[in-house]
Chain A
Amino acid sequence: MTIPDIIVPSAGRSRARAKARTYAVLRFLVVIVTTYLGLLSVTFFIGRVIPVDPVLAILGDRAPAHVVERTRELMGFNEPLYYQFYIYLKDALTGNFGTSVLTTNPVLDDIRRVFPATMELATLGTLIGSLIGVPLGVLAAVRRGSIADQFVRVIGLIGYSVPIFWLGLLALVLFYAKLRWVAYPGRIDIVYEYTFTPVTGFYLFDSLWQGQWDVFKDAFRHIILPAGLLGYFSLAYISRMTRSFMLNELQQEYIVAARAKGLSETRIIWGHALRNAAVPLVTVIALSYAGLLEGSVLTETVFSWPGLGLYITNSLQNADMNAVLGGTIVIGSVFIAINLLSDLLYRTLDPRTRAR
């Protein structure tokens, strides 16, 4: 083989690879746009179809007829539907979800306030859930049928079947009321509420950034119980999934080959089997994280956590459509973002799914 023979095909390959990458990015964009469009049309139609008159919700049922008519005109409800949808799209894309009837703030401002609270809780919960759940699942798979496996099974079963509000209340009674290990419900002590000005809304991060150790400690004492509970519930799911993925990988021939190479069990389990099981695990953890980002209403209620779940539930009970739909769009966007992220991660973890 002459030298040009080798160079030409590899140059062609790299060009083809760049082309495939452009194609993948384009496909990503199309997916985002269509999903988002679908999401917005669903929320738009729910907003128009649901038998709550937004005008009535604002003015109350005793407003004089001409005021109702004027308000309706101002809110754009007399325009044709397609024009309303166009305005809706424009508003949604510029972040204008209208004003919340309940709080009288722009919905976006409200969400900017409540979403970091939920995200902080969900992130810590998922971290706890995966950092404990994955090793537990691995242990259960490796020692299949042993006491350890049964132990993990029982932990998972309790996590699946016990209602979170009940466990939350019990935990509060024990760790707050009796043992005083953690702080009372809420995000932060009243003392700090006026001295501490958050920047991003993630209290743990903000207090660290500003070097306010006492605030960090206090915020941690507040978040650890609800985050621990959410973590426990995602742990139940993650450990079960890890166990079954690991059992599947441990049966594969490449594990026999790894043993034949003389590798240590630790290396085989964590370096080979888990590395392969990590590919589907990413999806599982991402979905569980996205589920927590929706805001868990029950946990947020029990722990008076001013998060997205609580906000949407309150708005729903007060027929505050703008807030509900705004919240829905935020949740939808989060789902799209997390899905894309896990898709990207999937590609880096599994060479077989990379664009060639």
Chain B
Amino acid sequence: MTPMLTVEDLRVRFPTRTGVIEAVRGVSFTLGRERLGIVGESGSGKSQTGRAIMGLTPPHAQITAKSLDFDGIDLLKAPSKLRRSLRGNRIAMILQDPKYSLNPVMSIGRQIVETLRTHEKVSAHQARDQAIAMLEAVQIRDAARVFDLYPHEVSGGMGQRAMIAMMLIAGPELLIADEPTSALDVTVQLEVLGILDRLVADRGMGLIFISHDLRLVSSFCDRVIVMYAGRIVEEIAATDLAHAKHPYTQGLLDCMPAIGSSRHPLPVLDRKPEWAL
């Protein structure tokens, strides 16, 4: 099976006044129709990796790669118009906090319809029906009412479901979820994850799940990439996580308290400078 997405030696650099900052330093992986988790601490470059694939890095960033290939399309050489037609249509992205990532002065329904009508020629009436069906697919009861609500009128969990509906309505093949549940309450997290899980499975999408929550990622994904300081330090099947080889991954796992066993003192994460080389 040829992979849907090939990333080879991806680098993202930001020129600043004090020199060039390299946020992503040679990341390589391939992805089929599977779930890939990317974990790492803040600033490890996991979000920038996702944004580089989307083509959403700020204009002053320099992106290089030996290969950045989506379904036979060289993303780095693709004209911006082609990349735009991919975004939302074939590659979509879910952002962290619906409080900020939904437009506050536009009703939820209009924002969902907008994605659909950007990529497909459908009548306004049809688009509305499809959007309401999509809202029902993310398990929103009374979808016709929620369609006309504004983002500030719904809860965080409901907002994130609307976000998922907005990003999935055009039927993308690859979904990048950038900390999709970090801004939500724990109970709501599971609900939203459950919805995401079913949609990804039903539609056979590829998923890149970016998170700092190792346990969440390992239970949700097939494969896990651990990033540290802009590099991949370990790539491992989620089921093998307990047997991680790299000391950083082991350190991350060690920091997790377990129910039923007393762990005092909880170990502190070790960061050796040579890992960042």
Q: Is the CB of B85 within 8 A of A349?
A: no
A residues neighboring B (CB under 8 Å): 6, 252-254, 256-264, 267, 272, 275-276, 279, 349-352, 356
B271 CB to nearest A CB, Å: 29
Expressed in whole angstroms, the Cα–Cα distance for A261 and B115 within the complex equals 6
Q: Is the CB of A275 within 8 A of B114?
A: no
Expressed in whole angstroms, the Cα–Cα distance for A351 and B150 within the complex equals 7
Q: Is the CB of B100 within 8 A of A253?
A: yes
Residues of B within 8 A of A267 (CB): 118
B30 at interface by CB-CB < 8 Å? no
Closest residue to A352 on the B side, CB-wise? B152
Residues of B within 8 A of A256 (CB): 56, 95, 101
Closest residue to A356 on the B side, CB-wise? B153
Interface of B is mostly: mixed
B residues neighboring A (CB under 8 Å): 54, 56, 84-89, 92-93, 95-97, 100-107, 114-115, 118-119, 142, 150, 152-153, 163, 166-167, 170
* 28 sample A-B contacts, Cβ–Cβ < 8 Å, listed by A number: A253-B96, A253-B97, A254-B100, A256-B95, A257-B101, A257-B163, A257-B166, A258-B103, A259-B87, A260-B54, A260-B56, A260-B87, A260-B92, A260-B167, A261-B92, A261-B114, A262-B85, A263-B88, A264-B84, A264-B118, A275-B106, A349-B105, A350-B104, A351-B150, A351-B153, A352-B104, A352-B152, A356-B153
B85 CB to nearest A CB, Å: 6
Q: Is the CB of B119 within 8 A of A6?
A: no
- Scoring B86, B101, B119, B163 by chain A CB atoms within 10 A of each residue's CB, the highest score goes to B101
- Across the interface, A275 reaches (CB within 8 A) one of B85, B105, B163, B167, namely B105
- Scoring A254, A267, A275, A352 by chain B CB atoms within 10 A of each residue's CB, the highest score goes to A254
Q: Is the CB of A262 within 8 A of B101?
A: no
Expressed in whole angstroms, the Cα–Cα distance for A15 and B34 within the complex equals 50
Q: Is the CB of B105 within 8 A of A262?
A: no
Residues of A within 8 A of B85 (CB): 262
- Across the interface, B95 reaches (CB within 8 A) one of A257, A263, A264, namely A257
- Scoring B85, B106, B152 by chain A CB atoms within 10 A of each residue's CB, the highest score goes to B106
Q: Is the CB of A254 within 8 A of B84?
A: no
